[in-house]
A and B are shown apart, each in its own frame.
Chain A
Amino acid sequence: MAGTTCTCNCSVSNLTGEAKIEHLLELYKGNPSALIVVLSAIQTELGYLPKDWMVRVAEELNMPLTDVYGAATFYAAFSMQPKGKYTINLCVGTACYVKGAPEVQAAIEKELGIKPGETTEDRKFSFNLVHCIGACGIAPVMTINGDVCPKVTKDTVAEILSKYE
C-alpha cells in the first residue's frame, strides 16, 4: 500500500471546503494509508470532524470505521466538537512555562470562563494549550487564529482578547 504521492498538490491547494475533501477522497480511494492526510483536510476545512464525514472516509478509503475513530481520537489536532470562531493556542512549552505561561493561562480561564480544551458558550473562543511553537525568544507566547501574540502577561490578556469581535 505504498506510494500515496499526491501528484496534484497544486490543484488541491486551490480547492477549499467540501470540494477539497471530495477531491482527496477520490484521489485516495481504497487507500487507508491516506487516512491522516484526509482527516487533516476535513479538520482544516470544516473546523472539526463531523460523524457523517468520518463514515464517508471509512467507506471511501475502504477501512473499518473503528480505525478512523481510533486515529481521530489519538491525534491532538483532531476534534469531534465544533470549534469557536477564534482558537487561542497558549504555548506552555518550557521557555514559556518558566517565563510565566501558567499565570497567563489562569488569566485566560478567568476572562473566558473556560478551561483548556473547551469552547465558550457563544462559540466565540476555543482555548487550547500547546507545547512549543518554536518562538521561545518571545515567551510567553500565544496564537489566536494564527496571529502571534508575543510576551503576553496576565495583565495584557483581557486587552488582547477584546480586539477579537
Chain B
Amino acid sequence: MNTEVLNIIREQSKKALAARLGEGSQDNFQKHVLVCGGTGCHSSGCQKVYDKMEETLKATGLDESIKLIQTGCMGACQLGPVVMVYPGEYHYCHVGEDDVSEIVEKHLKNDELVERLFYTNNDGELQPTMSEMDFYRRQQKIALRNCGKIDPTSFEEYLAVDGFKALEKVLTSMKPQEVIDVIKASGLRGRGGAGFPTGVKWQFMADNESDEKYVICNGDEGDPGAFMDNAILTGDPFSIIEAMTICGYATGATKGYAYIRLEYPLAIKNFRLALEACRKNGLLGENILDSGFSFDIEVREGAGAFVCGEETALMASIEGKRGEPRPRPPFPAASGLYGKPSNINNVETWANVCPIILNGPEWYANIGVGKSKGTKVFALAGKIVNAGLVEVPMGISLKEVVEEIGGGIADGKAFKAAQTGGPSGGCIPIDYYETSLDYETLAELGSIVGSGGLIITDEDTCMVDLAKFYLTFTQEESCGKCTSCRIGTKRMLEIMDRITKGLGTEEDLALLEELAYIVQQTALCGLGQTAPNPIVSTLQYYRDEYLAHIIDKECPAGVCDIKVKKKAAKKITA
C-alpha cells in the first residue's frame, strides 16, 4: 500500500459514505440506517433491533437501497437502543423490536417520520434530529468524532472520515521532532487523570536512545462510573491505532501494546479486527506507506486489577507479573516495559492526536480555557435524566452539563453534588454549581477532572456513605505493596464503617484527617495517594453530615442503617 492507492480507496469510500456526511447519496444506497451497538444499547437489546431490521430490509427487498450499519456508542445511553436514519440524522430513541417495521414502512419506504420515537425534552419540545437534541447540541466531539457514525470494524469507513490522513501527513511531510512540537503546541494533556502534557512526555521518550522502545495504550479503564475509553476502543479502534503509530514514528518506537481490560470483550474484539485490517492493508507492519517506518501493535488483556491502570503496574502486568507499581523515577520514558523507554497514554488522549495533526495545534489550543485545552469526555451518570457520554469543551460549567445536556436531575429531585474523578476525586457541592469544568478549577475545589466520571447525586444520596463506597473500592483494589496504602486505607475504612453505623466519635474525624494526610503523602503510587480524596473532600463540604451520623445518630439522607439511639441529654440538676 502506498499513499496513491490509499487515496484512491479513500475517494471511493467517501462516495459510499456521502449520504451520512450530508452530501447526498452517490451510490445505490439512498438511506443509511445506523443501530447503536455501544455497551449501553447492547444491554438494552440493540442486537435484537439490528437483527429484526436486517430481516425486515431483506424481506422487503429494501436491502438493495438501504445500508444497515452497527456502530459504536453514540452517547445517549439512557435513550437506547438508538437507531439513526441518514440523510437528516434522525434519532430514534428506545427502539424496540416491535418498532422496526413501523420505521421501515413509514420512514424508509415513504419518508414519513415516526414522531412517537423521537426525543421530547422537559418542556415538551419534539427534537427529531441529532443536531436539534439538547443532549448533543452543546457537545463538541473530537475524541468521540467517529463513535456512532461509522462501522467501527470497517477499514473503508474509517478512511472515508479522513482516517490515516494524519499518519500520511506525518510520514510524508514531517520530521519526528516536528510531530512532537505540534503535540506540545496543542496543549494536549493526559486524559487518564493526571493531566501531564502529552507532547512533553513524547519528548522524554524521543530523547532516550535505545535499540527498542515501546508505545503503550492504557485501556485499563477502571474508575467505576467512567466508560469513555470503552466507547472509543469499541467505536473507533482505528483512530487509536493510527495515533499510536504516529507516536511510534515521532519517538522512535517500532512496537506497541494496547492493554485493554478484560471486562470490555467487545472493545478487545473490535480492536483486534481493526489491527488485522491494518496489517492486511499495510498500515501496520514493515515499511508503512513506503516510508521505511515499521510498526506493529499487540493487544494484551487485563485480568481484573484496578491498580493496573497505574503505568508501572500496567507494564508489570504486560510482562506477565503481578500488577504492582514500582517507585518512579526511573520514569517509563527512561526505563519502562522490559526496562526499555516506553510512552504510555490513555485511550482518550490517543483519540485526540489525529485531529490535532490534521487541523493544527492552534485549532486545538483555541478550544478550552486557560491551561486546559481541547475537550473532555465525561461519563454522565447517577441521578440524571439523560445519562450517557458527553464531550464538551473544557471550561463549560457544571450546571450547563447537568441541566442543558443531561436534562436535569431525575424524578424532579434537587441537585446535591457532583462527584468527579471517581475514587481518586472529590465532590462539587451546589455552591459551586456554576463552576468551570477544567483541570485547574476542579483542583482548586479539592476535586479532579480525573478520567472523567461525573456522577450526579441528589438529596437522597448520603455523602458519607458515598465516600465510604469509594474507599471500600480503593481498599479492595490496593495491591498491598506499600504499607501506608495497605494499612492506612484499611484503618480509614474501619472508621468510616463505625461512623455510618452511628458508632463514630468526633475524635474519629481528626484521626481520619490525619490518616488521609499520611496516605496521600507517603503511598507509592497514584492509587494510594488519591484514595483519601473522597473522604477529604466530603469532610470539607459535608462535615455536618458526618456530625449528624456521629452526634445525632442520624443519616440525613436516610441511607445508612443506624441502629444506635441517640442518648438523651443529661438533665442538669440545680
Q: Taking beta carbons and an 8 Å cutoff, which residues of A are in contact with B?
A: 1-6, 9, 32-37, 39-40, 67, 70-71, 74-78, 92-95, 97-99, 130-139, 141, 148, 150
Specify which chain B residues have a CB less than 8 angstroms from the CB of A37 in the assembled complex. 300-301, 320
Q: Which of A33, A40, A75, A137 contacts B323 (CB 8 A)?
A: A75
Contact A36 B320 (CB under 8 A): yes
User: How distant is the Cα of A150 from the Cα of B496 in the complex, in angstroms?
Assistant: 31
Specify which chain A residues have a CB less than 8 angstroms from the CB of B323 in the assembled complex. 74-75
Contact A137 B303 (CB under 8 A): no
**Does any Cβ of A come within 8 Å of B43's Cβ?**
yes
Q: Which of B227, B262, B301, B318 contacts A132 (CB 8 A)?
A: B227
User: How distant is the Cα of A1 from the Cα of B320 in the complex, in angstroms?
Assistant: 11
B202-240 contacts to A (CB < 8 Å): 212, 221-227, 230-231
Contact B320 A32 (CB under 8 A): yes
Specify which chain B residues have a CB less than 8 angstroms from the CB of A67 in the assembled complex. 321
Specify which chain B residues have a CB less than 8 angstroms from the CB of A74 in the assembled complex. 305, 322-324, 479
Residue pairs across A and B with Cβ atoms less than 8 A apart, 7 shown, are A2-B338, A40-B303, A71-B320, A75-B302, A77-B303, A138-B78, A139-B381
A33-B319, A35-B320, A97-B469 given. 6 additional CB < 8 A pairs? A37-B301, A78-B303, A98-B466, A99-B383, A132-B226, A150-B44
Contact A2 B303 (CB under 8 A): no
Q: Which of B40, B212, B324, B455 contacts A2 (CB 8 A)?
A: B212
What 0/1 pattern do residues 445 to 478 of B give for CB contact below 8 A with A?
0000000010101000100001001100100000
User: How distant is the Cα of A85 from the Cα of B147 in the complex, in angstroms?
Assistant: 36
Q: Which of A36, A131, A139 contacts B303 (CB 8 A)?
A: A36
Contact A40 B225 (CB under 8 A): no
Contact A150 B43 (CB under 8 A): yes
Q: Taking beta carbons and an 8 Å cutoff, which residues of B are in contact with A?
A: 39-40, 42-44, 76-78, 80, 212, 221-227, 230-231, 255, 262-264, 272, 296, 298, 300-306, 317-324, 337-338, 340, 379, 381-383, 387-388, 419, 422, 453, 455, 457, 461, 466, 469-470, 473, 479
Contact B40 A98 (CB under 8 A): no
CB closest residue in chain A, given B423:
A94
CB closest residue in chain A, given B458:
A98
Nearest CB of B to A30, in Å:
12
Contact B382 A132 (CB under 8 A): no
Specify which chain A residues have a CB less than 8 angstroms from the CB of B272 in the assembled complex. 9
Specify which chain B residues have a CB less than 8 angstroms from the CB of A2 in the assembled complex. 212, 255, 337-338, 340
User: How distant is the Cα of A4 from the Cα of B461 in the complex, in angstroms?
Assistant: 48
Nearest CB of A to B78, in Å:
5
Nearest CB of B to A74, in Å:
4
CB closest residue in chain B, given A76:
B304
Contact B224 A40 (CB under 8 A): no
CB closest residue in chain A, given B272:
A9
Specify which chain A residues have a CB less than 8 angstroms from the CB of B318 in the assembled complex. 33
Specify which chain A residues have a CB less than 8 angstroms from the CB of B230 in the assembled complex. 134
Q: A36-B320, A74-B305, A136-B381 are in contact. Are A98 and B338 (CB under 8 A)?
A: no
Q: A94-B382, A94-B455 are in contact. Are A137 and B78 (CB under 8 A)?
A: yes
Q: Which of A4, A77, A137 contacts B40 (CB 8 A)?
A: A137
User: How distant is the Cα of A9 from the Cα of B296 in the complex, in angstroms?
Assistant: 14
User: How distant is the Cα of A9 from the Cα of B42 in the complex, in angstroms?
Assistant: 26
User: How distant is the Cα of A95 from the Cα of B189 in the complex, in angstroms?
Assistant: 26
User: How distant is the Cα of A34 from the Cα of B300 in the complex, in angstroms?
Assistant: 10
Specify which chain A residues have a CB less than 8 angstroms from the CB of B383 in the assembled complex. 98-99
Specify which chain B residues have a CB less than 8 angstroms from the CB of A135 in the assembled complex. 39-40, 42-43, 77, 227
User: How distant is the Cα of A1 from the Cα of B77 in the complex, in angstroms?
Assistant: 43
User: How distant is the Cα of A87 from the Cα of B168 in the complex, in angstroms?
Assistant: 46
Nearest CB of B to A129, in Å:
9
Q: Which of B80, B255, B300, B455 contacts A3 (CB 8 A)?
A: B255
Contact A148 B455 (CB under 8 A): no
CB closest residue in chain A, given B303:
A75
User: How distant is the Cα of A125 from the Cα of B557 in the complex, in angstroms?
Assistant: 34
Contact A94 B224 (CB under 8 A): yes
Give the 7 A-B residue pairs with the shortest CB-CB distance, closest first: A137-B77, A76-B304, A93-B224, A134-B227, A75-B303, A35-B320, A95-B381
Q: A131-B224, A134-B230 are in contact. Are A39 and B263 (CB under 8 A)?
A: no
